Structure 1
Amino acid sequence: MKKSLLALALLGAYAAGAYAQSSVTIYGIIDESVAKGNGGTAGSGGVAALGTSKAWQVRDGGPGSRLGFRGNEDLGGGLSAQFLIEHRFSPDTGNTNPGTQPAASNTFWFGGSYVQLTSSMVGSVYLGRWYSPAFWVSLKTDPFGYGGIAQVGALTFANYTNPSAVGLGARTTNTVGYKTPNWGGLTANVAVGLGEGGTAGRDTGVNIEFTSGPIYAGLAYDKINSGTPTFSATSGAVDGNSLIVAGFAYNFGFIRPMISYATSETRTGSVVDTDALSFGLTAPAGPGLIKAQYTMRNTDAAPLAGVPVDVKLKKLGIGYDYFLSKRTKVYADYTAIRETNLTNHSAFALGVRHDF
């Protein structure tokens, strides 16, 4: 009898331990490149960090070198808890403020920091700092993965930024978000970046994505509410700024073409309407991958006495990734940019990236 009771106690302890299984993963990217531009003043995305210098530069080469920690705990009954904290840095200097982060910022977990509760039946609720729903559509229709000098990147935001972000509009702070389960390839994400003092406003975003076999399709909407109700010189910190972005891709195996379109309305001293259209592709080639994109952005504004100003930007990006292993690759990227009233800018970069 005593042996039976002991066996039951051990079995109960084992079962409780099984339900409380947890894991913590350390992950990251180290990406370094040697880059050179022609000194042009036109610029966007990764090439803007080169400035107007014609000198050779060593710089963080890709979507942002990072060190992150993520964890998962099984709570039983289809419930689980997750967390993530991610630090961005420039490996060439050790600086905690890479090119995508304002130099004055002291945001250590710039890449993201959230806690999340998940139900396998209902979905996930998260709180903290994380990517906006619109970012995912941009990322999945950018052949360069939203990184490097040839990326489409923030061009798919069509000049839109959000006030709850630090740096670019791709992330929101003070965020409460909900992600649905995957329903046969269909998912949705709703997130609200709440204000934290001042008149920064409330950022509300939503996306719907469909992924099935070779198909990807996404649609997202983002808007600022309850901010400063009049025109402001501070981009994004006003009431009514809005963004719509849509993307589609199809993987034929030998090539994966993709397209994205974005339109935004912002208020920076006047109403500014911007459209951005991007065509891209990736194609396997030997042990590597060819990448290419062509993006056109058109901005219509009326900053002076109602006289329209039409600013056009065109960006070409091509590149090749050569995979030394599943985690390590070397790459070469080239970009050329034309922009109204600015000098043409071209640049190339040679780099090494290791994922861990």
Structure 2
Amino acid sequence: MKKSLLALAVLGAFAGAASAQSSVTIYGSLDLAVTKGNGGTAPNNSANGTSKAWIEKQSNGSRLGFRGNEDLGGGLSAQFQIEHRFNPDEGVLNNPSFFWQGRSYVQLSSATAGRVYLGRDYTPAFWPAVKSDPFGWDGVGQAGSTMWAGFLTPANAGGTAAASGVRASNTVGYKSPNLSGLTAQVAVALGERVVGRDTGFNVEYSGGPIYAAFGYEGITGGPTASVDGNRLINLALHYDLGMVKPIFYYSRAKVNAGTATPLTNKYWMLGALAPIGGGTLKAAYGRLTPDANTPAPVSAPWSNQTQSKLGLGYDYPLSKRTNVYADMGMGRATNATNNTAYAVGVKHTF
């Protein structure tokens, strides 16, 4: 009997070690809000403002994902991540052209040398921006894509224009280990002779109350000559005072670089996060100044109008996984009516 118990204990120990060496995690989130706009015409990073109808939609992109890790020994490991995006109000794909729209990559990691990844992921310049938006690029209050001052990552080399934005397909990237709060990341998205080659990097520091970051992204080549030479630089500085965390962000983008009239747009934002009443108060004010030579009319994101936006919101956690929120965003622009939208919603993560 004692021998049997000992054998079971040994087998259990081996099983525990095996499970620790390899794991797959299922994760996700669902977010829905009731929103309403005032029908204004100024840009607001939200379709709600241009409609006076009551709308049910997500603020944070709902997702279902899988991530895995395998310990290869000697400080080496392998990981993967695939993430599906969908609209829970109707149960449809967020983008019909992409089932794994969020992320789809595989990587090899070293505890001392960093990690190398291949596939579809956010570009390095995205991180200083999204970490500086108090709303996390979500909902009616977000600063969002305006923070890139008109720059867009090239469309998918597979030919799907809807993929353009802040993620890059066909990426080969590297991220350094954390060295006393300092990290660096560099990535190249292969254009495969379909779109321009996208190259970017960032340097981030996070230590104590300080977060500071610098990012760069640029496009070379590709069949669309107008974007050859487009580039973005951005920088961020945060300082957590405890009772409030002030945030500063700045970006400058060169667009239409391959034409006779290249344009330089500038954007800045001041934001803050403050713990109040068990929740978090969010506030941001940003201003986009397009190049004075921008012709009119120009469709988004290169509007010929100076744009500004005020975002206010409050998040309250009901638990570690469930959060309720109320947000407001008001956009203003030259020769346009104020665009104001409101949202009250709930987000659940698992």
Normalised TM-score (structure 2) = 0.88
Query: What is the deviation of 1:303?
Result: 5.2
Residue 255 (structure 2) aligned to one of 262, 266, 274: 266
Q: CA separation in 1, counterparts of 2:121 and 2:188?
A: 11
CA distance change for structure 1 residues 167 and 19 in 2, over 3 Å: closer, same or farther? Answer: closer
Contact residue 287 and residue 306 of structure 2 kept, 8 A = yes
Following superposition, the deviation at residue 121 of structure 1 comes to 1.1
Conserved in 1, the CA contact under 8 Å of 2:44 and 2:329? no
Deviation of the 1:346 alpha carbon: 0.3
What is the rounded CA distance, in whole Å, between the counterparts of 2:99 and 2:292 in structure 1? 36
- Stretches of structure 2 that go unaligned for 5 or more consecutive residues are 1-6, 157-161, 297-302
Letter in 2 for 1:196: E
- What are the equivalent positions in structure 2 for 1:107-256 lying under 5 Å apart? 107-165=98-156, 166-198=162-194, 200-228=195-223, 230-231=225-226, 238-256=227-245
| Alignment of structure 1 residues 37-76 onto 2, 5 Å | 37-45=37-45, 47=46, 49-50=47-48, 52-62=50-60, 64-76=61-73
| 139-148 or 313-322: bigger deviation | 139-148
TM-superposition CA deviations, 1:263-321 (whole Å, max 9, x none) = 0000086312110000000000111110000000000153559xxx9520000000011
Specify every segment of 5 or more residues in structure 1 that has no aligned partner in the other structure, as ranges: 1-6, 232-237
Q: Which amino acid aligns with 1:311?
A: Q
What letter matches 1:37 in structure 2? G
AA of the residue aligned to 1:213: G
- Contact 1:139/1:145 (<8 A) preserved: yes
- Residues in 2 aligned to 1:312 and 1:215: alpha-carbon distance in whole angstroms: 31
- Per the TM alignment, residue 230 of structure 1 is displaced from its structure 2 partner at its CA by 3.9
Distance 2:32 2:295 in 1: 43
> RMSD value over aligned CA atoms?
2.3
Aligned counterparts of 2:153 and 2:334: Cα–Cα separation in 1:
25
Does 2:12 align with 1:21? no
Task: State the identity as a percent.
Answer: 52
CA distance in 1: counterparts of 2:206 and 2:84, whole angstroms: 29
Question: Any conservation in 2 of the 1:113–1:128 contact (CA below 8 Å)?
Answer: yes
Equivalent position amino acid for 1:128 in 2: G
Amino acid at match of 1:328: T
- How far the C-alpha of 1:228 sits from its partner, in A, is 4.2
Shift of 1:352: 0.4
- What is the Cα deviation at residue 153 of structure 1? 1.1
